[in-house]
Amino acid sequence: MELNSFLASDAALLLFSGLGLVATAVVWRGPRAVARADRLAVPLMLAVAAALTAACVRAAASPAALPVTSMAWARGLDVVIGYQVSWILMFADYSRYTRSPGGGAIAVFAALAATSLWMMPLGALAYRAAGTDDPGAMMQAVGLGTAGALPAAS
């Protein structure tokens, strides 16, 4: 099934509604429940990130990749700053599970820096392979299809 048709289906509505309810219940139960959920979620997301990394590297080496296009420096800066600013709202949420305000600040900065340095280049490679910024098309272009997009979307 194509990603866009799946996302428009009743099954996707039920899946994502269910995931939202589970996430709400976990957070409602408090820090211990969040820590237990992270034991599953963090390795799952690392596995998805590793698969995405391998797929993007393969796609970049493919002769079928689209030609390199340029982006204005200011537009690139806007993308990078916009990503960071969109996550700044989460800072207050993350810090309630840390032992100290300084520890929370360091953890949030380190996590944002690491994911930015890792995932932004992969996004650029997937965009180049797909020729569009549609996430579904990008996952298809690097060979992950729906299976690659669903864990990232949830």
pLDDT at 53: 92
> What are 43-55's pLDDT values in tens digits?
888 888 898 899 9
Q: In this model, does residue 1 exceed pLDDT 70?
A: no
Mean pLDDT for the stretch of residues 89-101:
68
> What are 122-152's pLDDT values in tens digits?
988 888 888 887 777 888 888 887 666 665 5
pLDDT at 54: 92
* Greater pLDDT, 74 or 56: 56
pLDDT at 96: 66
Question: How crowded is residue 113: how many other Cβ atoms within 10 Å of its Cβ?
Answer: 11
Band (pLDDT 50/70/90 cuts) for residue 3 is: low
pLDDT at 99: 78
pLDDT at 31: 81
Q: Please return the burial class of 14, using the count of CB atoms within 10 Å of its CB with bins 0-12, 13-18 and 19+.
A: exposed
* Greater pLDDT, 148 or 58: 58
DSSP-assigned letter for residue 72 = -
Counting every residue written for the chain, the total comes to 154
Which amino acid makes up residue 69? T
| Lowest model confidence (mean pLDDT) among 58-62, 76-80, 110-114 | 76-80
Helix/strand/coil percent split, the chain, to 5:
80, 0, 20
Separation CA 112–CA 114 (nearest Å) = 6
